[in-house]
Amino acid sequence: MDISNEKAILQSVIAVAPYIPLFIDEPVSVAVTNTEGFIYNQPCPEIPVKCDIGVPFPAEATPLMVIRSGERMVREVPARVYGVPFMSYAIPIREGREVVGCLMIAKSVERINTVKDAISNLAQEIEQVMGAVNEITEGVQVASASNQQVYGLMGNLLTEMNRMNEILGAINKISNSTKILGLNASIEAARAGTAGKGFSVVAKEIERLSDNTTESAQTIGTMLTGIEDQVNDMSEKSKDATDAFTQQAASLEEIAATIQNLNANVKVIENFIKQL
């Protein structure tokens, strides 16, 4: 079509149109129309839009919609209109208040859909990771609570062992008193001579009972000391584990917060892409 008779504003847009792709970092096709049909078309290999110069607009043509409405329009154009699907970005060209044509830029819908799919998949993966982190956090919290209960029980056990040590102390005192009693009985039996032989047997049994009691108390004391050392060691390890669980729970909460922020940003990008 000879554009010499077209309005000056359309000729100016056509003069600038070849430079428009240089400002966009992806392949685009550029077209200019008057109110009847295309008067300029600069396709690219990635988006070979088939629009013949001078042929009237198809019924679903974006420029026709823009010229009629006088408004900017962004829409996905199906392949049946121009032979290839694409995203069209079209604005009306005005001379004064009159709409005299349209400038349209076509972008690959495949690229946009690829980005949409990638963002959607990323959002789903983030949701899955978030679910896993929440499950781990709950597990750590349960383990921490259980470990704290164990730590408390060990504290109670140490308290009971201290009471047992006090009882052993009392038994040792009784044993010592019994031993002294046996020695005194032996002395009195010796003084009584032949008459004190029966009492001497009783005195020896008292001393033997005292020795056995002392030996048993020492054995129990040694065992309690060993158990107490092990309980103290387990208590320290339990406390360290509780501290570690607490730190892990705090770290997981930070990770969860970071993932939530990432998910929010992904949704912002996803909404933005939907508007493209």
Mean pLDDT of 24-45: 90
- Please state which of the four CATH numbers 3.60.15.10, 1.10.3430.10, 3.40.50.300, 1.10.287.950 is assigned to the domain occupying 114-274: 1.10.287.950
CATH 1.10.287.950 intervals, the chain: 114-274
Residue 84: which of 76, 93, 92 has the closest Cα?
Answer: 76
Mean pLDDT of 35-48: 88
pTM of the model: 0.46
CA distances for 253 relative to 141, 187, 263, angstroms: 11, 77, 15
CA distances for 259 relative to 51, 129, 263, angstroms: 47, 8, 6
Flag whether pLDDT at 182 surpasses 50: yes
Residue 214: which of 178, 162, 183 has the closest Cα?
Answer: 178
pLDDT digits (tens, 9 = 90+) for 56-84: 888 889 999 999 999 999 998 888 887 78
Flag whether pLDDT at 248 surpasses 70: yes
CATH 3.30.450.20 intervals, the chain: 3-112
Contact by Cβ (8 Å): 101, 35? yes
Mean pLDDT of 115-125: 73
Mean pLDDT of 6-24: 90
d(CA 207, CA 221): 21
pLDDT digits (tens, 9 = 90+) for 203-221: 677 767 767 777 776 777 7
Q: What is the CATH number of domain 3-112?
A: 3.30.450.20
